[in-house]
Amino acid sequence: MHISVVGSGYVGTTIAACFAELGHRVTAIDIDEETVSRLNGGSATLYEPGLDELLASHIGEQLTATTDYSVIPETDVTFLALPTPSRDDGSIDTSIIVAAAESVGKALASKSDQHLVVVKSTVTPGSTETEIGPAVRRGSGNETGQISLAMNPEFLREGTAVEDFLSPDKLVLGTEPGDEWAATTLRAVFEPLTERTGVPVVETDIREAEMIKYANNAFLATKISLINELGNICKEHGVDAYEVADAIGLDDRISEQFLRSGVGWGGSCFPKDVAAIISAARETGYEPELLSAAVGVNDRQPARMVELLTNHVHPADKRIAVLGLAFKPGTDDIRGSRAAVVIQSLLERGATVVGYDPVAADNMREQFPEVEYADSAPAALEGTHGALVVTDWPEFAALDDEFDTMVSPVVVDGRRIIERREGIAYEGLTW
């Protein structure tokens, strides 16, 4: 099939490259000329393991990029992968995807054949039906159903996005009731994947598909906050929270995943999606108390790191290392990074902060230009009075002699990755 993907950010670039890997012909569309130029050169504008290799192997053959929406009528299916950022009240701003949807509609005005428009962006229940679909049809001037709509939420984790697409744990295909053509077409898009992997496929209505994405992320975020709350209690009683987590994870109703207590969740998905579903619930008059509590627990975790540091050394006029700046290993994304909250807290307390991350330092430098950025973890530790480990990059586990270069060897480990315990004032965040 010939697929057009509108939006070449994190999700759009990943799915475009992966659809090409599945054998489809793909046209990526973005209004940013630099992004399009980079894609046509075989590289992404973001760091994601394995993505550049896929782009390089398919660009110019199975995959091309353009700023021109007029190619859309030549394609069979269009995926909308545009950002839906948070407003101040936590609700999502759909203006970007709605504007793109109207542009897609205008491009389709001259097409006589049926066309499927699939929303890949994360939007609250009802958005495809009440905002995005009408924008497409308004642009096309066709209200008769020539354009079909679908929702296919993404479950891509930064750092493993390519693997997550090509080896998913589920596919969710949402179409309008009675639109069998749309359902059949969407199945055909993913047929190379389903035949190869046998992945479970959930076929449902559009609103249910929209909600599944939010429910998925809200559940995982709440699970993390719950284990962090339990970890905080364990800390107060001198109990190893990880031994507790290992035991309860053997219960198949709980499972071991997402039971690593620590500094909390961040990134571009969990904070935005949980805030959005809380806002959507409140709009109906329902107060989601459990989700609000999960956010509260998460927001307090970075402060615990700084509090534990001050038990040993007050940050004022001290040199403090922050190891790990990305919100998780395997990505350069600092959106929702717990490190940003920690850095801000340290600066407010008068510390001199030196940060290190193998790939995310440049992004954090834009937010905190006053911070010193080291080229390596050992360089970041040298001459410091304390260190906080915020992101569990594997290289931090191997640090040993480097702690001896610190003025005051105080380490607060927010991810339980540091192997050395002797000879330093060591504090685990929740154990």
- For residue 187, give Cα distances in angstroms to 1, 164, 362, 363: 12, 18, 41, 38
Give the per-residue pLDDT at 125: 97
Cα separation, 106 vs 48, whole angstroms: 33
DSSP E strand stretches across 57-158? 63-66, 77-80, 115-119, 147-151
What CATH class has 2-199? alpha beta
Percent of the chain residues past pLDDT 90, beyond the cut: 94
| DSSP codes, 228-278 | HHHHHHHHHTT--HHHHHHHHTTSTTT-STT---SS---TTTHHHHHHHHH
pLDDT for the residue 143 = 64
What are the pLDDT digits (tens) for 200-233?
999 999 999 999 999 999 999 999 999 999 999 9
What is the model's pLDDT at position 144?
56
Binned at pLDDT 50, 70 and 90, residue 400 comes out as confident
- Asked if 18 is an active-site residue, the reply is no
Dihedral sign computed on CA atoms, order 86, 91, 95, 96: positive
Between the CA of residue 27 and those of 19, 54, 129, 293, 321, what are the distances in Å?
10, 15, 25, 43, 44
Q: Mutual orientation of helices 95-108 and 133-140 as an angle, nearest 10°?
A: 40
The Cα–Cα gap between 64 and 25 comes to 9
Residue of 55, 92, 161, 269 marked catalytic: 269
pLDDT confidence of residue 110: 87
CA distance 352 to 372: 8
Mean pLDDT of 301-316: 95
Q: Is residue 371 helix, strand or coil?
A: coil
Query: What is the predicted pLDDT for the residue at 55?
Result: 97
Torsion of CA 423, 427, 428, 431, to 10 degrees: 110
Per-residue pLDDT averaged across 45-69, rounded? Answer: 96
**Confidence grade of residue 145 (pLDDT, cut at 50, 70, 90):** low
pLDDT band at 150 (very low <50, low <70, confident <90, very high): very high
0.85 exceeded by pTM: yes
**Residue 429 has what pLDDT?**
83
CATH superfamily to which 209-431 belongs: NAD(P)-binding Rossmann-like Domain (3.40.50.720)
- The yes-or-no verdict on residue 172 having pLDDT over 80 is yes
Domain boundaries, the chain: 2-199, 209-431
**300 in Cβ contact with 262 (< 8 Å):** no
Q: How far apart are CA 342 and CA 415, in angstroms?
A: 14
Query: Cβ contacts of residue 336 below 8 Å, gap of 6+?
Result: 265, 266, 267, 268, 270, 271, 272, 327
Q: What are the pLDDT digits (tens) for 70-123?
A: 999 999 999 999 999 999 999 999 999 999 999 999 999 989 899 999 999 999
Mean of pLDDT values over 317-340: 96
Q: What is each CA distance from 200 to 151, 172, 383, 384, in whole angstroms? A: 17, 9, 53, 51
Q: Round the average pLDDT of the chain to a whole number and report it.
A: 95
Q: How confident is the model at residue 31 (pLDDT cuts 50, 70, 90)?
A: very high
DSSP 144-185: SSSEEEEE----PPTTSHHHHHHS-S-EEEEE-TT-HHHHHH
Equal CATH topology for 2-199 and 209-431: yes
